Amino acid sequence: DAGVTQSPTHLIKTRGQQVTLRCSPISGHKSVSWYQQVLGQGPQFIFQYYEKEERGRGNFPDRFSARQFPNYSSELNVNALLLGDSALYLCASSLDVANEQFFGPGTRLTVL
Amino acid sequence: GQQLNQSPQSMFIQEGEDVSMNCTSSSIFNTWLWYKQDPGEGPVLLIALYKAGELTSNGRLTAQFGITRKDSFLNISASIPSDVGIYFCAGQNNAGNMLTFGGGTRLMVKP
């Protein structure tokens, strides 16, 4: 079975632009979580979605938003990009809210 | 943001040696997990722990959930070159909806 997939793998944007990152969970998983991993640090929780509803939100500004679709895939949107948004954005899926989370390969975002 | 205190930050060991790393928190967690991350990839789940005091093995890896529920450790026995990578601990909260990660332990193995 395919694992968690994310697209694109790499992305370069300039300050002030907007970006959309995509994630497809493992088949049968209904929950998707997003994490930001800055170089040299552990991942930081951004959002969790389950059955299209937000179930958790980390300490990130309103420029960050997400949604989950009926097929359980998800998008993460970041508006008004800042240099500090440069990071690896990881998507993780789980059967439901409290089960183990399995990570995708990430999207490397560079903001110039 | 909050992170767990993970130590050591890095280790450079000889192939065949055993490795130990640990993670501590000021908060209680219901679940502890250990992940390994290779360069350019996402974290891969190694071991999940669900009960205080639980000791779980996965091949050469052994991990324990601390009695206080505020700490965990991971041991790797007889290290091999492919063990190289960054190891992260993560605590899962009561609601189960978020993971809090440690800062990682970078493991380097000399053949």
Mean pLDDT of chain B: 93
> What pLDDT score does B97 carry?
78
pLDDT at B50: 93
CB contact under 8 A, A106 and B48: no
pLDDT tens digit string along B56-108? 999 999 999 999 999 999 999 999 999 999 999 999 987 777 899 999 999 99
Contact B89, B34 (CB under 8 A): yes
User: Is the preceding peptide bond at A105 cis, omega within 30 degrees of 0?
Assistant: no
Residue B2 has pLDDT above 70, yes or no: no
Residue A49 CB coordination number (10 Å): 26
The pLDDT tens digits for A75-91 are 999 999 999 999 999 99
Closest by Cα among A84, A24, A101 to B96: A101
Query: Could you tell me which residues of chain A have a Cβ less than 8 Å from any Cβ in chain B?
Result: 4, 33, 35, 41-45, 48, 50, 55-56, 58-59, 90, 92, 97-106
Across the interface, of A41, A101, A106, the residue whose CB is closest to B99 is A101
> In chain A, which stretches have pLDDT less than 50?
none
